Structure 1
Amino acid sequence: MRIPKWGLLSIFPFQALALVGCAASNEKIETVEELLAAAGFQIFYAQSPQQQAHLDAIPQRQLVSHRVKDTLTYLYADNEHCDCVYVGDQAAQDRLRQLAAEKRQADWQVEASELRLDWTMNPAVWGGMYP
């Protein structure tokens, strides 16, 4: 079966737009810290020896929950990069899960698009070069 050239060319711009859109959204949120900030976690920097000691006592670079009375709070400590702790409530935790799922989906779409692009742009089909 012969595929008309215009058929492939009409599909390619849409794939390129999808790649650009996914890449742009991935560039917005690359790190855990950016995800935490986008989800609504507040950042607090250790500014005293007591705060530094408390920061060091929290498991590092892990999201941990902490309950005070009836309030559940989530903490993410990072004494290696910023000497800080991100603090969020249940709404921020829910938003973090949503953003993380969206990021995984966007990463998957970029990877799948790149694989499709590699497959469709195989120069070996044309004898090593395009006509």
Structure 2
Amino acid sequence: MITVGTLDHRRRARFVVLFAAILAVTGCATTRREEAASTEQLLAAAGFQMRPADTPERVAALASMPREKLVVRSKDGNVVYTYADPEKCHCLYVGGPKEYAALQQIGIQREIAAHDPEAVMEWPGWGPWLW
């Protein structure tokens, strides 16, 4: 026999499952946007130039590129690195070997900072108070 209490319990369980699913989907989307924003900040810090997709031709070209991936290309005998973001900024980041080297250096610095915060502060091993 099903009672009113049983129905309420089932409704609560469905609500909890639905709410958890919504949180999971929203969390994944938010994380992806944050990762893209972080990547774009790193590219800009490394000297990559942002080129907006402000014409129909550029929008079409941007849509045909691999999205949110750093791609190496050759143009007129020169190496060019591109990062297409058709969703957030509707733009293309473009850089050469110099900017790519700077991006790698930033990545190395972030890796060091993640494992050894004192190295980033440039303090001696015993702290900042012993000058």
Paired positions, count: 81
CA distance in 2, matches of 1:83, 1:61: 11
TM-score by length of 1: 0.59
Structure 2 unaligned residues grouped into runs of 5+: 1-36, 118-131
- Tell me which of 72, 77, 84 is aligned to 2:84: 77
2:46 maps to what in 1? 39
The Cα of 1:68 is off from its aligned counterpart by 1.1
- Root mean square deviation of aligned Cα: 1.3
Alpha-carbon distance in 2 for matches of 1:70, 1:46: 24
The residue type equivalent to 2:47 in the other structure is: G
Q: What displacement does 1:109 show?
A: 2.7
Larger radius of gyration: 2
Higher relative contact order (CA 8 A, sep 6+): 1
What's the counterpart of residue 107 of structure 1?
114
| Partner AA of 1:44 in structure 2 | R
Per-residue deviation, 1:108:
2.4
Letter in 1 for 2:52: Y
What amino acid sits opposite 2:112 in the alignment? Answer: Q
Identity %: 36
Where 2:116 maps in the other structure, the secondary structure is: helix
TM-score of the aligned structures, taking structure 2 as reference length: 0.59
2:25 corresponds to which residue? Answer: none
Say whether 1:93 aligns with 2:88. no
Query: Partner residue of 2:34?
Result: none
